[in-house]
């Protein structure tokens, strides 16, 4: 038994003595980026980036269309408000079509794109719900004063918040990816100088 314990301790000490040398002479490889994947398809990845930017543009436009309705003293007829909601609905429908295209590409995109899609999809679904509620309320009451006493103002405000969140989220991801790509390019330039 004592011999077995001595053998185990000796093996552990030998491993500890060899390990620093193996670490010292290990080939240094560049760290794997969370931006890229071996399974991503370059064509789909480029197409997805364009679609995500399109979603960002649509969200910004939809928010801009409905922001005037957030002002408490808004003095717009219900017909004008309905027209504004209709334009926003068109943008949201286009966002939905874009998400369907992205869904078909799933598994062939970069990890950051998959992450971004999973973040904005619930926001788009919320926007659809809030917009449908606002449209139902305006169709029912057709009076700005009565509308202000319903959940209509909250639905419009939440719609604008989600649209702003989508715009900001896509923008933040784009900035992050751009910064990571620049850092990777700098590391590639510096790597030959170290050799």
Spatial distance between the Cα atoms of 169 and 179, rounded to a whole number of angstroms: 15
Spatial distance between the Cα atoms of 72 and 153, rounded to a whole number of angstroms: 9
Domains, the chain, in order of start with CATH, read 42-189 (1.20.120)
128-133 long-range contacts (CB < 8 A, ≥24 apart) are 128/92, 128/96, 130/155, 130/156, 130/158, 130/159, 130/162, 131/85, 131/88, 131/89, 131/92, 131/155, 131/159
pLDDT tens for 40-70 read 788 888 999 999 999 999 999 999 999 998 8
Q: Does pTM surpass 0.85?
A: no
Cα–Cα nearest to 54, from 166, 177, 181: 166
Asked whether residue 14 carries a pLDDT value surpassing 50, the answer given is no
Confidence of residue 15 (pLDDT cuts 50, 70, 90): very low
Proportion of the chain above pLDDT 70, given as a percent: 77
């Amino acid at each position: 038994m004592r011999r077995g314990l001595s053998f185990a301790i000796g093996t552990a000490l030998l491993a500890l003595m060899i390990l620093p040398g193996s670490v010292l002479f290990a080939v240094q490889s560049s760290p794997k980026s969370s931006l890229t994947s071996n399974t991503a398809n370059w064509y789909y990845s480029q197409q997805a980036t364009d679609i995500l930017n399109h979603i960002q543009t649509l969200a910004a436009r939809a928010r801009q269309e409905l922001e005037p309705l957030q002002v408490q003293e808004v003095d717009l007829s219900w017909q004008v408000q309905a027209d504004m909601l209709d334009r926003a609905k068109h943008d949201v429908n286009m966002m939905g079509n874009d998400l369907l295209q992205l869904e078909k590409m799933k598994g062939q995109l970069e990890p950051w794109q998959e992450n971004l899609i999973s973040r904005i999809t619930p926001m788009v679904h919320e926007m659809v719900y809030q917009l449908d509620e606002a449209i139902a309320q305006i169709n029912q009451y057709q009076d700005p004063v009565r509308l202000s006493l319903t959940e209509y103002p909250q639905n419009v405000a939440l719609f604008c918040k989600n649209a702003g969140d989508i715009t900001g989220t896509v923008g933040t991801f784009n900035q992050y990816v751009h910064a990571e790509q620049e850092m990777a390019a700098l590391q590639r330039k510096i790597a030959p100088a170290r050799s």
